[in-house]
Amino acid sequence: MTLKAFELLEKKGFEKADGSWYELTSSIDKEEGLFLNKLISENKPNRSLEIGCAEGISSMVICESIGPDGDHTILDPFQSTEWQNHGVNNLKKAGFNNFTIFEERSEFALPRLASEGNKYDFVFVDGWHTFDHVLVEFFYINKMLNVGGVVAFDDAALTGLNRLMRFISNYPNYEIIGSVSDKYVSGQRKMLNVMKRTVNALFSPLGTRLKQELLNDTVVRSDSALKIDGNVTAFKKTAEDDRGWAWYKPF
Ligand SMILES: C[S@@+](CC[C@H](N)C(=O)[O-])C[C@H]1O[C@@H](n2cnc3c(N)ncnc32)[C@H](O)[C@@H]1O
């Protein structure tokens, strides 16, 4: 499978409008692009949403994968400033016109899109990566994602994102559908997972509920047990969110 974005990834950059060379600094890689393409081919979204465009590599993958009849919305507050419109120019150069970009911060644009009644079938999150930020993003994404829709997170192995992956794993209306690319998962995180599995095995006679009371949940259910141990992690929304007002599960 070859996608137009892969030409830029193979050359590790692109020619700018003034003819000078620009080297990619901040994009998904080919394996992650193929994963997004697979998620889209399998789930056939009509409307997609993306947080974080930068040089436009993931946006190109999504625009090509959803096809010319798809409708892709991108949020990036720094596209024309920090990124000098590289993402938008790359999308246009590749012939995509199935996208709209809003130069707004996701934390303000998402509640606006939600209150306008927008719904999406596929969302890719790759913006600001603190825990509180991605939690706020997911709060609104959950409101806008259609049942059957998919949300995927880049850099899911970062500590802040990892906490959110664990939190979403508990939702009764989401199921993990894949987590790829362990080359960005730090040695420390891999080692932690091995240690957790060992401690978990030692305490196995207690059973899950007692173990959860005695040990931290991150030990009882390792990332590998939850299948969230890759760098891009995707969940499918399986039902409407009917959690009660005081719902909480340890994560
Ligand atoms: C890692 S880059 C995105 C790379 C891109 N997804 C790709 O793979 O080609 C992160 C992007 O998030 C954007 N960003 C930072 N803060 C943001 C915010 N509050 N809302 C939306 N996007 C934000 C940055 O401008 C940057 O373009």
Predicted local confidence at residue 196, as pLDDT:
86
Ligand 1 neighbour 53 (Cβ under 6 A): yes
Ligand 1 centroid to residue 25 C-alpha, Å: 12
Mean of pLDDT values over 61-71: 98
Whole-number Å distance between alpha carbons of 70 and 45: 7
Ligand 1 atom at shortest distance from the alpha carbon of 87: 9
Ligand 1 centroid to residue 129 C-alpha, Å: 9
> How many residues does this entry show for the chain?
251
Predicted local confidence at residue 18, as pLDDT:
85
Residues contacting 210, CB < 8 A, separation 6+: none
Residues 52, 57, 60, CA angle at the centre, nearest 5°?
100
Predicted local confidence at residue 173, as pLDDT:
98
Predicted local confidence at residue 178, as pLDDT:
96
Give the confidence band of 86 by pLDDT, cuts at 50, 70, 90: very high
Predicted local confidence at residue 98, as pLDDT:
98
Asked if the model's pLDDT at residue 102 lies above 90, the reply is: yes
Predicted local confidence at residue 215, as pLDDT:
84
Mean of pLDDT values over 36-43: 98
Asked if the model's pLDDT at residue 181 lies above 90, the reply is: no
Asked if the model's pLDDT at residue 99 lies above 90, the reply is: yes
- Measuring from atom 24 of ligand 1, which residue has the nearest CA? 52
Domain spanning 4-183+228-237: CATH 3.40.50.150: yes
Mean of pLDDT values over 43-59: 98
Ligand 1 centroid to residue 12 C-alpha, Å: 18
Mean of pLDDT values over 79-105: 97
- Measuring from atom 7 of ligand 1, which residue has the nearest CA? 27
Mean of pLDDT values over 163-175: 97
Whole-number Å distance between alpha carbons of 44 and 236: 13
Ligand 1, pocket-test mutation among 7, 26, 36, 155, most atoms within 8 A of CB: 26
Whole-number Å distance between alpha carbons of 220 and 209: 9
Ligand 1 atom at shortest distance from the alpha carbon of 106: 20
In which region does residue 51 sit, left (phi positive, over 0), alpha (psi from -120 to 50) or beta (all else)? beta
Mean of pLDDT values over 198-227: 87
Nearest to 146 by CA among 128, 125, 163, 122: 122
Ligand 1 neighbour 32 (Cβ under 6 A): no
Extract the runs of DSSP E, i.e. beta strands, from 16-154.
21-23, 47-51, 71-75, 99-102, 120-125, 145-153
Nearest to 4 by CA among 26, 39, 37: 37
Ligand 1 atom at shortest distance from the alpha carbon of 32: 8
SS3 state of residue 52: coil
Domain ranges of the chain: 4-183+228-237
Mean of pLDDT values over 22-29: 96
Give the confidence band of 180 by pLDDT, cuts at 50, 70, 90: very high
Ligand 1 neighbour 75 (Cβ under 6 A): yes
Ligand 1 centroid to residue 201 C-alpha, Å: 40
Name the residue type at position 172: P
